A and B are shown apart, each in its own frame.
Chain A
Amino acid sequence: MRHRGKALVSVLAVGVLALAGCGGGDDGGSGSGPGGMSVPKVDKMAQLGAGEGTVNVIAWAGYVEDGSTDPKVDWVTGFEKETGCQVNTKVAGTSDEMVALMKTGEYDVVSASGDASLRLIYGGDVAPVNTDLIGNYKDVFEGLKNKTWNSVDGQPYGVPHGRGANLLMYRTDTVKPAPTSWSAVFDPSSPYKGKITAYDSPIYIADAALYLMKTKPELGIKNPYALDDAQFKAATDLLTQQNDLIGEYWSDYTKEVQAFKSGDSVLGTTWQVIANLAKADKAPVEAILPTEGATGWSDTWMISSKAKHPNCGYLWMNHIISPKANAGVAEWFGEAPANKLSCAETADKNHCATFHAEDEKYFEQVWYWTTPLAQCVDGRTDVTCKDYAAWTQAWTTIKG
């Protein structure tokens, strides 16, 4: 017995030492960052070659469907036949997971949201995109091109995929009068106390900041993702106060549909697709874009700087924003497509109207998810802003 115990301890000790040894070795990857903010130089592709036979994709659930979920939902098989590029998909659950996976260098393309794309660009994990090689790029809505989350100094780092807004959903039978403002979810004396819901992610702090931006101009918030100490404190204070009103937070959309159907939640933030599912489930709900505007998301297909199959990657980026495929994804996932021609290809002819695809006025009021950085993303240089790590820590504190 004594014997074995000693052996175990020594094995453990060796393991710990080996790990500690790794410690000294490979750092130095933490040089570029918020302070200097220079983009690592990566060359874009000059011309398209022949496909390599394979493309490895990181995507949100529902973005890459080859008919295995539903035989009618398939925009991959045709692409594989046509180009000879076998598509291998890895579904990621969060933006952070996407960033981590892209760092491995094993993947060629990724459908990054705005709170991942900048980190990928400045981390040197993705390459600038030569849009001349992507035929369908010209048909993408102008409102999506060359934005802060998908380009640097006018150089696109990906092709826009689709977008949506975080809306305010309410039960029409209990919430009267119908809300028009986000104040409905922040009012401390709300009659719906205990039945209000909110999105369970640090990025939700931006929703509070957006509300303060409109209601407390003295705070001087110009962008809900660029918050200095005082602004950040105001936003987190508002959310701490809101915590008393919350019944539950949601991040799983099926859970929210069920909560609204049963009446456990009657008021709170949502996505268009969730509102549609709840209505299809006969829940008496309505979703609106409040007067203050809203936060939202706009996804971008990006190509890895270490891509082993760059040609297939470009072919994929061109295919996924082609009118038919783009329409397929937009309908399956429930978002606005990026390609103007997609609107003619959707099975439901009202899809583009429902999701406001061509409504630039609607999207002007939408603040897309962006990674908060210490160097303020609104361009201020006299203060430091709270970065995403601080947001994450604060989110835990808010929930108590």
Chain B
Amino acid sequence: MAFFHRHPRLRLAGLLSAPLMWLAVAYLGALAVLLVSAFWTVNGFTGEVVREFTLANFRTLVTEEVYRNVTLRSIGVAVAVTAICVVLAVPMAFYMAKVAAPRSRHWLVILILTPLWASYLVKAYAWRVLLANDGPVDWLFFGHGPGYGLLATVVVLTYLWLPYMILPLYAGLERMPSSLLEASGDLGARPLRTFRAVVLPLLVPSIIAGSIFTFSLSLGDYITVQIVGGKTQLLGNLVYANIGAANNLPFAAAIATVPVLIMVIYLVAVRRSGALEEL
């Protein structure tokens, strides 16, 4: 032990080598393999991967209309889910952090977290039953429930990812001194003005943090849409279909680069806005 004490660099290396190996080999390595294999093709008959550089996959991806439609649909779903999550989560988080008695706060946090204890699949299938023909949701809307489809997908994804939006918002609001709200009130601002001019600007970094979760999780999802999406296809379904049914790993990899690219653009935009530094 004394040896490591005298050599702090070695100690640091020992400490960091395992996680770094993980990051480099398992995490970034997997992404590199994905990127490389996206430029290969598959022999249509024998199903063997042809390891020759070609842009064919990306050409198909760009020229075929269906992939553009599916990409836009996926982005639309991710944006809608994120927007609804923000609208629902802001008042909930505000109530939890500022209005509720301090003692009941952690109970509320636990309540928000409880759905996360159940399996993702169980929740999705529960929604399949809820949304079924003549099911509870249909009954609620006098027989005109949404049924399975795009709308159902957005609803269920919102339900699944809401905690990931509430928690950063709650953390952000808890850090915000209540004296700011009082000062705003003392200076004559009505509650709505206080919310708009004081709370919301301070909340932006938390909203962005939450949106990274809800946006990326929605963008990659393929199970929920399989269960309640009816005939809807999202990017995740195309990846899944090309790995499972079509045995076309290179094309699946090419499709998988699309959400990666979208997320990179999104993160760069977030960084530009300067919100990341405030996290």
Partners in one complex: yes
Write the residues of chain A forming the contact surface with B, with a CB cutoff of 8 angstroms: 4, 7-8, 11-12, 15-16, 19-20, 22-27, 29-30, 32-34, 93-94, 96-97, 99-100, 103, 119, 122-123, 194, 201-202, 243, 246-249, 255, 258, 262-264, 373-374, 387-390, 392-393, 395-397, 399-400
A248 touches B231 (CB 8 A): yes
Determine the chain B residues whose CB is within 8 A of the CB of A96 once the complex forms.
47, 244-247
A262 touches B135 (CB 8 A): yes
B66 touches A387 (CB 8 A): no
A119 touches B245 (CB 8 A): no
B66 touches A397 (CB 8 A): yes
Contacts A99-B47, A246-B231 aside, 16 further interface pairs with beta carbons under 8 A come to A8-B20, A8-B23, A11-B24, A11-B25, A12-B28, A23-B40, A30-B50, A33-B45, A97-B244, A99-B247, A122-B46, A123-B47, A247-B147, A373-B45, A389-B44, A393-B60
Binds A, one of B29-37, B84-92, B156-164, B171-179: B29-37
A29 touches B46 (CB 8 A): yes
A201 touches B132 (CB 8 A): no
Nearest Cβ in chain A — how far from B241, in angstroms? 7
Contact of A396 among B44, B50, B52, B241 (CB under 8 A): B241
B248 touches A8 (CB 8 A): no
A263 touches B231 (CB 8 A): no
Nearest Cβ in chain A — how far from B57, in angstroms? 11
Provide the bound-state CA to CA distance between A20 and B35, in Å.
Answer: 11
Closest 4 CB pairs of A and B: A96-B247, A389-B44, A23-B51, A392-B246
B43 touches A247 (CB 8 A): no
Write the residues of chain B forming the contact surface with A, with a CB cutoff of 8 angstroms: 20, 23-25, 28-29, 32-33, 35-36, 40, 42-48, 50-53, 60, 64-66, 69-70, 128, 132-135, 147-148, 227, 229-231, 233, 238, 241-242, 244-248
B244 touches A93 (CB 8 A): yes
B66 touches A100 (CB 8 A): no
30 A-B interface contacts by CB (under 8 A): A11-B29, A12-B29, A16-B35, A19-B32, A19-B36, A29-B43, A30-B43, A30-B48, A30-B50, A94-B247, A96-B47, A97-B247, A99-B247, A100-B247, A119-B45, A119-B46, A123-B45, A194-B147, A202-B245, A247-B148, A262-B132, A263-B133, A373-B45, A388-B44, A388-B45, A392-B242, A395-B241, A395-B245, A396-B66, A397-B66
Nearest Cβ in chain B — how far from A377, in angstroms? 12
Determine the chain A residues whose CB is within 8 A of the CB of B51 once the complex forms.
22-27
Provide the bound-state CA to CA distance between A103 and B132, in Å.
Answer: 42
Chain B residue at minimal CB-CB distance from A391 = B246
A247 touches B28 (CB 8 A): no
Chain A residue at minimal CB-CB distance from B37 = A19
Provide the bound-state CA to CA distance between A112 and B106, in Å.
Answer: 56
B46 touches A4 (CB 8 A): no
- Given the contacts A99-B247, A264-B148, A33 and B43 also touching, CB distance less than 8 Å: yes
Nearest Cβ in chain A — how far from B189, in angstroms? 43
Contact of A20 among B24, B36, B66 (CB under 8 A): B36
B230 touches A8 (CB 8 A): no
Provide the bound-state CA to CA distance between A396 and B134, in Å.
Answer: 31
Determine the chain A residues whose CB is within 8 A of the CB of B43 once the complex forms.
29-30, 33
Determine the chain A residues whose CB is within 8 A of the CB of B40 once the complex forms.
23
Nearest Cβ in chain B — how far from A104, in angstroms? 12
Nearest Cβ in chain B — how far from A94, in angstroms? 6
Provide the bound-state CA to CA distance between A27 and B247, in Å.
Answer: 18
Provide the bound-state CA to CA distance between A243 and B149, in Å.
Answer: 13
Q: Name the residue among A11, A93, A97 with the largest chain B CB count within 10 angstroms.
A: A11
Q: Name the residue among A24, A373, A392 with the largest chain B CB count within 10 angstroms.
A: A392
Provide the bound-state CA to CA distance between A343 and B134, in Å.
Answer: 41
Provide the bound-state CA to CA distance between A249 and B40, in Å.
Answer: 30
Nearest Cβ in chain A — how far from B238, in angstroms? 6
A389 touches B245 (CB 8 A): no
B246 touches A202 (CB 8 A): yes
Determine the chain B residues whose CB is within 8 A of the CB of A246 once the complex forms.
230-231
A4 touches B245 (CB 8 A): no
Chain A residue at minimal CB-CB distance from B246 = A392
Nearest Cβ in chain B — how far from A176, in angstroms? 18
